[in-house]
Structure 1
Amino acid sequence: MNVQMVLDVMRESFIRILLVAGPALVISMAIGLVISIFQATTQIQEPTLTFVPKLVAIFLTLILGGNFMINILLNFTKSIFKMIAGL
C-alpha cells in the first residue's frame, strides 16, 4: 500500500461522508434558518423552539434518503474490502 492509495481512499471517504451526511445537514440548516427568521419577526426567543422541528426534519430525511445513504456506504465498504483482499 502506497501513499497514493491512502490518499485515494481518504478522498473517496470524504466524498462519501458529504453524500451521506450532507442532505440531513442542509435540511437542518434550512429549518434552522426559517425558524430563526420566525423568531426574529415574532420576537419569541425560545432556544428550544428549533429543536423539535429540526429533529422531525432530520428524521424524515433519514427515512426518505436512508436507502440511498445505506447503498453508498455498502458500496464503499465492499470496495474497501476488495482493496484489502487485493493487498
Structure 2
Amino acid sequence: MDTAMVIDIGRSALWVTVLVCAPLLTVALAVGVFIGVIQAATSINEMTLSFIPKLAALGVALLLFGSWQLVTLVDFTRGIFQRIPALFS
C-alpha cells in the first residue's frame, strides 16, 4: 500500500462522511434557526423548546434520507473491500 492509496481512501472516507451527515445537519440547523427566530420574536427563552421540533425534524429527515445514506455507506464499504486484493499485489 503506497501513500497515494492511503490518501485516496482517506479523502473518500471524508467525502462520504460529509455526504452522509449533510442532510441531517442541514435540517437540524434550519429548524434550530427557525425556532430561535420564533423564540426571539416571542421573548420565550426556554432552552428545551427547540429540542422536540429538532428531534421530530431529524426523524422525518432520517425517513427521507436514511435509505440514501445507507446505500452510500454500503457502496463505500464495498469499494474498500474491493481494494483489499490490490493491497497484496
Q: TM-score, normalised by structure 1?
A: 0.96
Q: Aligned-pair distance for 1:84?
A: 1.4
Structure 1: where are the runs of 5+ without partners? none
1:28 alignment counterpart: 28
1:6 alignment counterpart: 6
Tell me the amino acid that sits aligned with residue 70 of structure 1: L
1:17 alignment counterpart: 17
Q: Secondary structure at the match of 1:59?
A: helix
Measured against aligned partners, the alpha-carbon deviations of 1:19-54 in whole angstroms (never above 9, x if no partner) come to 101000000000000000000010000000010100
What RMSD over aligned residues (CA atoms) do the two structures have, in Å?
0.7
2:78 alignment counterpart: 78
Tell me the amino acid that sits aligned with residue 66 of structure 2: G
Q: TM-score, normalised by structure 2?
A: 0.94
Q: Aligned-pair distance for 1:86?
A: 2.4
Q: 4+ runs of 1 displaced by more than 4 Å? A: none
Tell me the amino acid that sits aligned with residue 8 of structure 2: D
Distance 2:73 2:82 in 1: 14
Q: Secondary structure at the match of 1:44?
A: coil
Q: Aligned-pair distance for 1:85?
A: 2.7
Distance 1:65 1:27 in 2: 11
Distance 2:65 2:45 in 1: 32
Structure 2: where are the runs of 5+ without partners? none
